[in-house]
Amino acid sequence: MATPPSLCIENLKKALDAAEIGQHPVEVHGALVGLICGGVDQQNQTWVGPLIDLMNDGQPLEPKLLQLITDLYQDTVTRLADFEFGFTLLLPEEEVSLSHRVEALSLWTQSFLTAIAIIQPKLNQASADVKEVIKDLAEIAQVEFDVAEDEESETAYTELQEFVKMSAILCYSEFGPEPEMDNTENSEDSKTIH
């Protein structure tokens, strides 16, 4: 069973505070997703260097914090690569005020955009759809935090959150690794002993 977002945020927040890193957990997840969706090499922990640059000015992370982030990275890669696992943004849940959730979505989106821009040098040569999504995400990153606590605002927030999620998936499909083809015929041949 997956760890609920609120518990994941709380555990990551404690580790960030203990390491005296002034990042919010949603910023860390946004940056991770930006690196992944920007096409960072998923082998050999290539993502760690750019993330540490973004999070901690290139200074190494404490082992416990790095392990938490590595687990989050692996979970995120799995969820992005296989739609059955259901990719989600690591954001506060409904028990947090809508204003705080909107602020968290804005922080997540800012970190996502920063990371994807760092890791993807060909962002300006992306498809028209990705360019449009990046432009829209930049506007979402600037959204006002002072929102009414009503059903209409709640619905608008849910739509924005879904848009950001689908935008990340679109970027992953453009810049992420090519999906591996399930070629059962070749694997059958390789198992046969002649």
Q: Is residue 27 part of a domain?
A: yes
Q: Is residue 194 part of a domain?
A: no
**Whole-number pLDDT of residue 184:** 42
Q: Is residue 192 part of a domain?
A: no
Domain limits for position 74: 5-175
pLDDT tens sequence across 63-86: 999 999 999 999 999 999 887 778
Is the pLDDT higher at 133 or at 6?
A: 133
Number of folded domains that form the chain: 1
Q: Is residue 50 part of a domain?
A: yes
Q: Is residue 180 part of a domain?
A: no
CA dihedral 82, 75, 106, 116 (to 10 degrees): -70
Looking at residue 48, which CATH number applies to its domain? Answer: 1.20.120.740
Angle formed by the axes of helices 48-56 and 98-119, to 10°?
130
Q: Residue 15: CA atoms inside 13 Å, Cβ hemisphere, count?
A: 18
Q: Model-level pTM greater than 0.75?
A: yes
Buried-state track 1-14, b at ≥16 Cβ within 10 A, e below 16: eeeebeebbebbee
Query: DSSP assignment of 88-110, as one string?
Result: ------TTS-HHHHHHHHHHHHH
